Amino acid sequence: MALLGQSIPISFNRIYVNGEYVGPNSKNELSLFNPKDNTLVAEKIPIADKVDVDNAVKHAEAAFNGPWASFTSSQRSECFRRLADLLETRLSDILALDSLTTGNPVSLIPTREKNYIKNCLLYYAGWTDKLRGDYFPADDGFVKLVRQEPLGVCVAINPYNSPVASLFIKAAPCLATGNVLIVKPSEKSPLGSLAVAPLFEEAGFPPGVIQVLPGDGKTGALLAEHMRVRKISFTGSVATGKKIQIAAAQSNLKRVTLELGGKSPAVIFEDADMDNAVTWTVNGILARTGQVCVAASRVYVQKSISGKFISQYVERMKAAALGIGDPQDPDTKYGPLADSAAFEKVRAMISRGKEEAELVFGGNRIGTEGCFIEPTVFLNPKPDAEIYKSEVFGPVVVVKTFDTEEEVVEAANDTEYGLMAGIFTRDINRALRVSARIDSGVVGVNCVSMMHIQAPFGGKKASGIGREFGEYALRAFTEPKTILIK
């Protein structure tokens, strides 16, 4: 089995269970292709079945109740720090594996992805001894203590757009609080997750604390309905999130965190710093070629400055199109869409959008092979246009003009999504007033489409349940226990 930096095609035909790569029980397999040219990257990737899932859960329970349960907070912290040190030299090769199957440019690896993952580990390394409980005085004859206890066997079902980063975002708070984790990466991008798993044991985590089961939706469903799994953390589509919540409720009422889709509004007021607003909104739709849940896909600009803003915005999008290319080239800024299914979905939505809004720029395929598509700008759509209402998950933006603050707040909130928003203004009173009224889990002021490890991240309405990052993620992986002492 080739692991890192080997020539294509490579093979990852095992699952990672209890500290080693083992042959799966399942005979079902899938193949992976490079979206830049549809060449084969890897084949015979296992689709873990019920036996594989049961076996992983059994080992996870044994690990949770085994030596891991007696690790002190400082021992857990030291494991995190050793893992961060190991990743310093090995992470780039691991992240490059997923570039082969997702189209994520390798240019993101040295700074954005590598630093993001390392900072996440070091942040939670410092939290292992700081998640405190409570004490209430015995003024009624009872001392009341509250402990924060780990849940047990947890599952991470991760998206294809940032598979290894998502693994660490979920694993760090999960393990910091003493839980164990089974990772189900997307069927489109399992390679990096399989490759990184052994580093946990090398860093000192006991076998079974982290396990990786590749597979498709059927594998995810088996985990979501498993009676011995206590928590699911899922990142992905609203439709799949609903299925996971139903499976969790119908099985054992396992805890669920859902980080789902978005249709993020960016509101540009007439007093905004124009260059800053254009920069953030363009970057906010083009990051990972628009394949991020926080993409700034609805831009509202006040009419008094709309001509100037739209002109600059379109010029930046045209310039960005020149940066689209081979994702394995370190000079490439933007790659293709993740696969042919994603490509055809986005193309179909653009085609229908031409009947519902004014196409200002883009919408065409780039080249004759692969899944490359131009950045695309629509203007002033019909109120119920699909391109305006639904998440596209591609480099497609809708720009809409407005007159008043009241009008734009109503428009921004007229959606079932509520993950991310941005407000651009020099007026601090307006910034605070509008950010309070925007129905979104995160609101940026003079920025958009970003998140920070210290602050909670998650959605309102159909964009999700629960929060990731910061202390809030630790609470999501623990259960309070009250102890009454007479």
Q: Are strands 464-465 and 255-259 parallel, antiparallel or unpaired?
A: antiparallel
- Per the annotation, the verdict on 259 as an active-site residue is yes
pTM beyond cutoff 0.85: yes
Q: Residue 166: how many CB atoms within 10 A of its CB? A: 25
Question: Using an 8 Å Cβ cutoff, are 361 and 352 in contact?
Answer: no
Question: Using an 8 Å Cβ cutoff, are 50 and 222 in contact?
Answer: yes
Question: CB burial class (10 A; 0-12, 13-18, 19+) of residue 218?
Answer: middle
CA angle 448, 162, 92 (to 5 degrees): 115
Please compute the mean of the pLDDT values over residues 178-205 and round it to a whole number.
97
For the record, the structure tokens of 336 come out as 């293709």
pLDDT of residue 370: 94
Beta bridge partners of 183: 156, 212
pLDDT of residue 9: 45
Catalytic site residue from 113, 187, 259, 374: 259
For the record, the structure tokens of 163 come out as 């598979």
Q: Which amino acid is at 449?
A: S
pLDDT of residue 3: 45
Q: Are strands 180-184 and 210-212 parallel, antiparallel or unpaired?
A: parallel
Longest dimension (CA), the chain: 78
Non-local CB neighbours of 459 within 8 Å, separated by 6+ positions: 259, 260, 262, 417, 418, 419, 440, 441
pLDDT of residue 1: 44
Buried b or exposed e, range 417-428, using 16+ CB within 10 angstroms: bbbbbbbbbeee
pLDDT of residue 344: 96
Summarize pLDDT for 279-329 with one digit per residue, the tens.
999 999 999 999 999 999 999 999 999 999 999 999 999 999 999 999 999
| % of the chain surpassing 90 pLDDT | 96
Q: Is the pLDDT reported for residue 171 higher than 70?
A: yes
Q: Is the pLDDT reported for residue 10 higher than 70?
A: no
Q: Residue 82: how many CB atoms within 10 A of its CB? A: 18
For the record, the structure tokens of 478 come out as 């623990």
Please compute the mean of the pLDDT values over residues 382-389 and round it to a whole number.
96
pLDDT of residue 22: 95
More confident site: 307 or 10? 307
CA angle 162, 339, 106 (to 5 degrees): 45
- Gap between the Cα atoms of 168 and 181, Å rounded: 11
- Gap between the Cα atoms of 452 and 391, Å rounded: 23
For the record, the structure tokens of 146 come out as 């509250």
Q: Is the pLDDT reported for residue 199 higher than 90?
A: yes
Choose among 304, 266, 269, 301: nearest CA to 430.
269
Secondary structure class of 480 (helix, strand, coil): strand
Cis, peptide link before residue 9, omega less than 30° from 0: yes
Predicted confidence band of residue 153 (pLDDT cuts 50, 70, 90): very high
pLDDT of residue 11: 58
According to DSSP H, which parts of 103-260 are helical? 114-125, 163-176, 191-196, 198-202, 217-224, 238-250
Q: Which amino acid is at 183?
A: V
Choose among 392, 397, 337: nearest CA to 365.
337
- Gap between the Cα atoms of 462 and 160, Å rounded: 20
Distances (CA, A) of 259 to 166, 236, 256, 462, 469: 11, 7, 10, 9, 12
Mean of per-residue pLDDT scores for the chain: 95
Q: Which residue has the tokens 């999960």?
A: 174
Domains annotated for the chain, with CATH where assigned, are 15-260+463-485 (3.40.605.10), 265-452 (3.40.309.10)
Q: Which residue has the tokens 């933007």?
A: 334
pLDDT of residue 263: 97
pLDDT of residue 111: 81
Q: Is the pLDDT reported for residue 109 higher than 60?
A: yes
For the record, the structure tokens of 148 come out as 């924060």
- Gap between the Cα atoms of 224 and 248, Å rounded: 6
Half-sphere exposure of 108 (CA within 13 A, CB side): 24
Please compute the mean of the pLDDT values over residues 139-162 and round it to a whole number.
96
- Gap between the Cα atoms of 450 and 183, Å rounded: 24
Question: Using an 8 Å Cβ cutoff, are 254 and 231 in contact?
Answer: yes
| % of the chain surpassing 70 pLDDT | 98
Q: What is the H or E stretch that residue 217 is in?
A: helix 217-224
Per DSSP, the residues of 197-215 read: THHHHHTTPPTTSEEE---
pLDDT of residue 2: 46
- Gap between the Cα atoms of 459 and 442, Å rounded: 7
